[in-house]
Amino acid sequence: MKPLGGGSLVMVRSEVYSPERVSVFQNIFDSAWEDLVRSGSPLAQYVNAEATRNALARQIIALGGTGMSPDEIKRTVLQDVAIVS
C-alpha cells in the first residue's frame, strides 16, 4: 500500500479512518505480505500476488473496526487468505 499524506481522512465503504488508523492498516498489510513472501507461499508468487494482496487488504479493512489488536488482525487475515485460496 502506498502511504497517504496530507493528513486527510480515508473513507472506505461508509466508514472513515484517520491517517493514524490507515497507517496501522498499512503496517499490518506490509507485515502480512512480508510473512507470505518469506514463507515461500504460492500465494505470494507473481501469478497470485495481486489477488492475494487484494484479499489481504479487504480483510484488514473488514476487521479494522472490530477492536482486534494489529497482531490478531494479521494472524486472522493470514489464516483467512490461506483458507480461501
CA distance 48 to 17: 28
The band of 81, judged by pLDDT with boundaries at 50, 70 and 90, is: confident
Query: Could you state, in order of their start, the residue ranges of all structural domains in the chain?
Result: 24-84
**Grid coordinates in use for 23?**
497507517
What pLDDT score was predicted for residue 83?
66
Contact 60, 73 (CB under 8 A): yes
Element (H, E) at 10: strand 10-12
What pLDDT score was predicted for residue 68?
95
The band of 14, judged by pLDDT with boundaries at 50, 70 and 90, is: low
CA distances from 12 to 15, 34, 41, 61, 83 (A): 5, 24, 29, 8, 25
Give the mean model confidence (pLDDT) for residues 11-35.
Answer: 87
The band of 73, judged by pLDDT with boundaries at 50, 70 and 90, is: very high
The band of 65, judged by pLDDT with boundaries at 50, 70 and 90, is: confident
CA distance 8 to 36: 30
What predicted TM-score, i.e. pTM, was given to this entire model? 0.78
Burial of 77 (0-12, 13-18, 19+ CB in 10 A): buried
